[in-house]
Structure 1
């Protein structure tokens, strides 16, 4: 929808807002709005040619790069309701004086817990094989396969957390509530909780964990950080969680260790190159299709009514300050 109003900056809003009527009403007071939820690449290109602001999808099926932005000569701000920006060509934006804003750096983001809750949900899903047993029940099979579905109790197990930011620290609290021992590594944080064992070396955590989750931002230092050396250092039969970004993990090494049984099971909400390519033939998806020790979800950890509303409010505050 295109709500033209004289004198207001033009905003293309490609992230879904139709379930937030009050927020849409507020947007119309500040911008001439072009609502285009989940717009495909060609439609987005046609809409932003005269736009001042783009509020993009946090997980589009294409990268917002020079090919998308080259005709958007008026564009001043791209906002993403996500902590990561690897779906945006930030270098191109910097060279063309386009501000990129996201949730990272805002104190208000600590009020968003959807991704944290989902991450711990994956822990339960892989240690108790919840999706697989549900599929059995739908097929009319009951306890016939109980030896396949026998899992572990979390109480008394050690949770290892790499990255003790918002999601990592929230999951430490959840793990404690389940009676787990928690070890964590984050060189940028001093952990004050006396129940959390902070280790200076990531490998101290990796080598001593029953469940390991990675909660870090993607940058050049973390790209493929979880590699064969990490997997070699893990305990046999470990459970592995990643809801950060797919590029943080060497996926070839992950699949090798899933196949060998070194990793008992893994739960992922992200895969590499998820903004491009055919996901149907992605090696992670292909493996998950044919094996029961890998659960993959389509980057939905933050997908709740409340979290999306809060995230949009955060980036809107940043946009208004810039304009």
Structure 2
């Protein structure tokens, strides 16, 4: 198991005992240089955002005995699924470790921005405790547009609905169980109508820069944009331009392009190698969290438990419901 954090150790020990598995944990991200150390292992368990290697590396993994790559995260864009499949390696992910955790972070960013908490804090640090310019809307008066209404998007919809918002959504799959709380619309209508636009799609070739300059230009100039999914779903340069030119009012992000090696790490006293992130951090109308929307106790426990369950299922020759294929 790679990229293992201290907070995962208890869950790892518990789940390993339940399926009688021998586990070796490593703190750093997996790289091809680690392949030789995997001799004797059947499963490679990962939780990272950097690609794991080339097609040749997958052949090496298979040759050394790896039969299954178990991701204890949702995103599987780091995996070359065709290479894994060609080498007989099963791949699983954790699609629903805790939709509520990401949903609550999405709501948190929305509230911080709606109530101008960043701006008011910056003023107070300068001794300005006045109210001018800080008047806020209330969520029940707003329309929230959700792009991607899977398990996480559904949780987001239910949270905003509980606060009285009007919910519109865009997704190729229409879920009948949500018919009482949202209305499906096309993407352009959502972008033009919503007061809050939030994305909850997976990251793949079809969603890379799904929110680009054209999308930002269609949003209201009072709109708030939220990305608690994956950074490259939105074009960071276009986002900064939309904020600087007041095409949109504010943004909340939990993930950003080129975050690998930054979010999740302690870089205190070091240069942060992402100038666009630094620019966003300086903007009072931007709320940033370091890809920690998932990071709750229930989510951590579930991510480990589901990864171990999938390893056990596949080891027994069965098919995991979480298997992803090319």
User: Aligning the two structures, in what range does the TM-score lie when normalised by the shorter sequence?
Assistant: 0.7 to 0.9
Shift of residue 210 of structure 1?
0.6
Measure, in 1, the Cα distance between the counterparts of 2:25 and 2:122.
Answer: 38
2:129 to 125, 143, 149: 143
Contact 1:163–1:214, Cα closer than 8 Å, also in 2 = yes
Q: CA 1:231–1:41 in 2, change beyond 3 Å: closer, same or farther?
A: same
Contact 1:184–1:196, Cα closer than 8 Å, also in 2 = no
Q: CA 1:158–1:75 in 2, change beyond 3 Å: closer, same or farther?
A: same
Contact 1:77–1:98, Cα closer than 8 Å, also in 2 = yes
Establish whether residue 212 from structure 1 lines up as the match of residue 197 from structure 2. Answer: yes
Large movers: runs of 4+ above 6 Å: 276-279
For normalisation by structure 2, the TM-score amounts to: 0.82
Q: CA 1:276–1:97 in 2, change beyond 3 Å: closer, same or farther?
A: farther
Q: CA 1:43–1:65 in 2, change beyond 3 Å: closer, same or farther?
A: closer
1:124-135 to structure 2, matched below 5 A, reads: 124-134=111-121
2:221 to 211, 220, 236: 236
Aligned length in residues: 304
1:1-323 to structure 2, matched below 5 A, reads: 12-16=1-5, 18-21=7-10, 23-28=12-17, 30-39=20-29, 41=31, 44-45=34-35, 47-57=37-47, 59-60=48-49, 62-66=50-54, 71-72=60-61, 73-104=64-95, 109=96, 112-134=99-121, 137=124, 139=125, 141=127, 143-144=129-130, 146-147=131-132, 149-275=134-260, 280-323=272-315
For normalisation by structure 1, the TM-score amounts to: 0.83
Contact 1:17–1:24, Cα closer than 8 Å, also in 2 = no
Q: What is the DSSP-based 3-state SS (H/G/I as helix, E as strand, rest coil) of the residue aligned with 2:272?
A: helix
What CA RMSD, in Å, does the superposition of the two structures yield over aligned residues? 2.8
Q: Which has the higher contact order (CA 8 A, sep 6+)?
A: 2
Measure, in 1, the Cα distance between the counterparts of 2:155 and 2:6.
Answer: 27
Q: CA 1:54–1:241 in 2, change beyond 3 Å: closer, same or farther?
A: same
Which runs of no fewer than 5 residues in structure 1 stay unpaired? 1-11
Which structure has more strand as a fraction of its residues?
Answer: 1
Measure, in 2, the Cα distance between the counterparts of 1:235 and 1:112.
Answer: 28
